[in-house]
Chain A
Amino acid sequence: MSKTNIRVLIAKKRIDVHGRGSKLIAKELRDAGMEVIYYRFGTVNDIVSTAIQEDVDVIGISLMTSGHLQIAGKLIPALKEKGMTDVLVMMGGVIPQVDFEDLKVIGIHKIFPPGLPGEAVAEYIKDNVGKAKLI
Chain B
Amino acid sequence: MGDIDSKDDFKKAKDNWAKIRERYADKIKANPNQSGIPIKSVYTQEDVEDIDLNGMPGVYPYTRGLYSDGYALTPWMQQMVFGFGTIEETRIKMESLVEQGMEGYFGHKVFNVVYDVPAMYGIDADHPEAEFNVGQCGVHMSTPDDYDELIRDWELETTNFSLITGENCLPGLAQIVAAAERRGKTPDALRGNSMNWYPRIAVQDIPSWKPDRGYALMGDLIKYCTEKVPAWNTTNIFMYGISEAGATPVQELAYGLSWGKSVIDAGKAAGLEPDAFAGRLGFQVGIQSNFFEEIAKLRAHRKMWAKITREAGCTKPKNMHARVHIHTSGNVLVAQQPLNNTARITMQIMAAIMGGVQSIHSCSFDETIGIPTELSHRTAMRSQQIMMWESGLRDVADPLAGSYYVEWLTDQMEKEAWKIYEELENRGGFMKGVGEGWVKQAIDDSAYTRKKKITDGSIPVVGVNKYVMDEEEAYEPFRIDMDIERKAIERLKAFRNKRNQKEAEKAIQMLKTACQDFNAGSGDLMPALVEAARKGVTNGEMMEEMKEAFGWEVTE
Residues in chain A within 8 A of chain B (CB atoms): 13-17, 19-20, 23-24, 27-28, 38, 40, 42-44, 65-67, 70-71, 94-98, 113-115, 117-119
Contact = CB atoms under 8 A, between A and B. Distances in A.
Nearest to A19: B205
Interface residues of B, number: 46
B370 A66 contact: yes
B154 interface: no
Given A66-B133, A66-B480, A119 B475 contact: no
Nearest to A68: B132
20 contacts: A13-B133, A15-B121, A17-B117, A19-B245, A24-B447, A24-B451, A40-B554, A40-B556, A44-B131, A66-B371, A66-B480, A67-B482, A95-B370, A96-B370, A96-B477, A97-B474, A98-B476, A114-B368, A115-B334, A118-B451
Given A16-B117, A40-B554, A43-B129, A97 B334 contact: no
Contacts of B336: 113
Nearest to B244: A20
B472 A97 contact: yes
Interface of B: 117-118, 120-121, 123, 128-129, 131-133, 136-137, 166, 204-207, 244-246, 331, 334-336, 367-371, 444, 447-448, 451, 454-455, 464, 472-477, 480, 482, 554, 556
A42 B464 contact: no
Nearest to B472: A97
Given A23-B444, A66-B136, A66-B371, A15 B204 contact: no
Contacts of A119: 455
Given A94-B370, A96-B476, A117-B451, A20 B331 contact: yes
B482 A70 contact: yes
Contacts of B451: 24, 28, 117-118
Contact of A17 (B205, B331, B369, B455): B205
Given A96-B476, A98-B476, A65 B133 contact: yes
B369 A20 contact: no
B369 A15 contact: no
Contacts of A40: 205, 554, 556
A96 to B, nearest CB: 5
A70 B481 CA distance: 12
Contacts of B131: 43-44, 67, 70
Given A24-B447, A70-B132, A97-B472, A17 B480 contact: no
Contacts, number: 105
A84 B136 CA distance: 30
Given A13-B133, A42-B129, A115-B334, 19 more contacts: A14-B129, A14-B554, A15-B207, A16-B117, A20-B331, A23-B205, A40-B554, A42-B128, A43-B129, A65-B136, A66-B480, A67-B131, A67-B482, A70-B482, A96-B370, A97-B369, A98-B474, A118-B451, A119-B455
Contacts of B244: 20
Nearest to A69: B482
Contacts of B482: 67, 70
B335 to A, nearest CB: 5
A74 to B, nearest CB: 8
B201 to A, nearest CB: 10
Contacts of A27: 448
A114 to B, nearest CB: 6
Given A20-B331, A66-B370, A113-B335, A15 B133 contact: yes
A20 B128 contact: no
Contacts of B117: 13, 15-17, 65
Contact of B129 (A15, A115, A117): A15
Contact of B447 (A15, A20, A38, A70): A20
A12 B476 CA distance: 24
5 tightest A-B CB contacts, nearest first: A67-B132, A66-B136, A117-B455, A19-B205, A15-B121
A75 to B, nearest CB: 11
